[in-house]
Amino acid sequence: MKLADSVLAGDRLALARLLSYVENDTAEGRAALDSLFPHTGRSHLVGVTGAPGTGKSSLVNRLAYVFRHPPGGASPRRVAVVAVDPSSPFTGGAILGDRIRMRDLAGDPGVFIRSMAARGSLGGLAGATAGLVQVFDAAGYDLVFIETVGVGQGEVDIARLAHTTLVVEAPNLGDEIQAIKAGILEIADILVVNKADLPGVENTERALRSMLDLSQPSPRSMVHHKASLSPPASLIGQPGWVPPIQRTISTEAVGIEELAALIDRHRDYLGESGNWQRRERLRLESELEMLLREALVSRWRISISESQYQAVLGRLVERRISPRQAVECLVDGRVLRDT
Ligand SMILES: Nc1nc2c(ncn2[C@@H]2O[C@H](COP(=O)(O)OP(=O)(O)OP(=O)(O)O)[C@@H](O)[C@H]2O)c(=O)[nH]1
Ligand SMILES: [Mg+2]
């Protein structure tokens, strides 16, 4: 049986193998992604982002548990987790978070957790993440959590992948400044104040709330991200949705059921408002752009010799040509004239 078919048939080993192929961008992985793509589009993709050590891993673990063991006798849902760059050098928290994960969810066939080391290039990482998410989607996982550490562009990139983005804050991290800097509120569909057992939680929540008030509505956000061709999905207007703030204590499973309910509520909102379709379109458009950019750059790179490249760079450094002229030389294959 082909690898893609085995994955569709629910073969866990095949799934694990394919995830590695996709992460390493092998030919077999690419082929499988192509044949799996028509089977995607059903998962609810939930981004979880925030500063290092805010409790993202513990939170995702608890959420997975709630979706596996829903209150009120609802039927359990299958949950996948893609944790990008889980080993934060700042906190070392990932190790503990991952250990908690193992204990609570070990042996549950309805849960699949995949950690991925960050790559050199941002585009490569986002591309690989998108691939892993597609595999889980095709394999029939109802929810796919995408956990990223990051303060800035990385978060915006994840917002482009997800239907629903959770931004996780914790008390006393200098979050106010961080939030403004990263434009983080602009990508948040749901704000989580984790570590609500710690002092300072009121301040954090108050700061978030006042910034939220300021940023509603925010046509500014479009200007912010002008650099890319399409805005993150969550930056399109969401009339009728004000990002809620949920307090949690992920070490004690406090506020988790409420948070899970908010995630469902946002999905329902997207469906009822027609925004699900708009986000799908934007999601796929930004993935297309990302792959296009990668393909064009690598194609261009083999069309030009290293010595040509270095020659142009040399002129640039000597200030005999401007950066823009350098690009013209390199892209249009314009011959260097002595000036
Ligand atoms: N007091 C308190 N500690 C928490 C809470 N949630 C998580 N922690 C602790 O915070 C540390 C980091 O937790 P993680 O879940 O690994 O955080 P993370 O955001 O995934 O960390 P990175 O992936 O390294 O960015 C661990 O020591 C957790 O036990 C909480 O609600 N209260
Ligand atoms: Mg983590």
- Confidence band (pLDDT; 50, 70, 90) for 103? low
CA of 160 to the centre of ligand 1 (A): 25
Q: Give residue 290's pLDDT.
A: 82
CA 56 / ligand 1 centre spacing (Å): 7
β partners of residue 49? 148, 167
**How many beta carbons lie within 10 A of that of residue 302, not counting itself?**
7
Name the closest-CA residue to atom 25, ligand 1: 52
pLDDT per residue as tens digits for the range 191-221: 999 999 999 999 889 888 887 777 665 444 4
Q: Which pLDDT score is estimated for 336?
A: 59
Pairing outcome for strands 44-50 and 111-116: unpaired
Q: Please tell me if the CB atom of residue 54 comes closer than 6 angstroms to any atom of ligand 1.
A: yes
Overall average pLDDT of the 247-258 stretch: 96
> If you average pLDDT over residues 134-142, what whole number do you get?
98
Query: 89 C-alpha vs ligand 1 centroid, how far in Å?
Result: 13
The pLDDT of residue 23 is above 50? yes
Q: How far is the CA of 55 from the centre of ligand 2 (A)?
A: 7
In this predicted structure, the answer to whether residue 39 has a pLDDT above a threshold of 90 is yes
Name the DSSP class of 51.
Answer: S
Band of pLDDT at residue 226, cut at 50, 70 and 90: very low
**Helix axis angle, 122-138 to 275-303, nearest 10°:** 130
Predicted model pTM: 0.85
**Helix 201-214 crosses helix 175-182 at what angle (to 10 degrees)?**
30
Q: What are phi and psi of 73, to 5 degrees?
A: 70, 15
Q: Which residue has the higher pLDDT, 123 or 333?
A: 333
- The pLDDT of residue 165 is 92
Q: What confidence score (pLDDT) does residue 150 get?
A: 64
User: Can you tell me which residue has the tokens 């095709």?
Assistant: 138
- Residue 92: predicted pLDDT: 41
Ligand 1 contact, 190 CB (< 6 A) = no
Choice from 61, 81, 82, 91 to test ligand 1 binding pocket (greatest atom count within 8 A of CB): 91
Amino acid present at 87: S
pLDDT score for 115: 85
Look at residue 10 and tell me whether its pLDDT is greater than 80.
yes
Confidence category of residue 88, pLDDT binned at 50, 70, 90 = very low
* pLDDT at site 191: 94
Nearest-CA neighbor of 138 among 12, 18, 25, 39? 39
CA 278–ligand 2 middle distance (angstroms): 30
Q: Specify the residue with its C-alpha closest to ligand 1, atom 8.
A: 55
Residue 89's pLDDT is: 45
Nearest partner of 54 among 126, 156, 155, 142, judged by Cα:
155
pLDDT band at 91 (very low <50, low <70, confident <90, very high): very low
Token pair 């993150």 in the structure block, residue: 232
Residues with CB under 5 A from ligand 2 (ion): 56-57, 86, 94, 97
Mean pLDDT of 234-238: 60
Enumerate the β-bridge partners of residue 48.
Answer: 147, 166
Token representation of residue 179: 């939030």
What does the pLDDT read at residue 301?
Answer: 85
d(CA 145, CA 135): 13
Whether ligand 1 lies within 6 angstroms of the CB of 149 is answered as yes
pLDDT recorded at residue 178? 57
What average pLDDT does the structure give for the chain? 83
Average pLDDT estimate for 23-29: 91
What is the rounded CA–CA span in Å between residue 244 and residue 255? 13
The reported pLDDT for the residue numbered 124 is: 65
Nearest to 22 by CA among 107, 111, 82, 109: 82
Note the pLDDT tens digit of each residue in 67-81. 999 998 899 999 999
Residues contacting 228, CB < 8 A, separation 6+: 286, 289
**Which tens digits make up the pLDDT trace of 53-67?**
889 999 999 999 999
Closest CA to 147 of 180, 179, 115, 170: 115
SS (H, E, C) 70-89: CHHHCCCCCEEEEEECCCCC
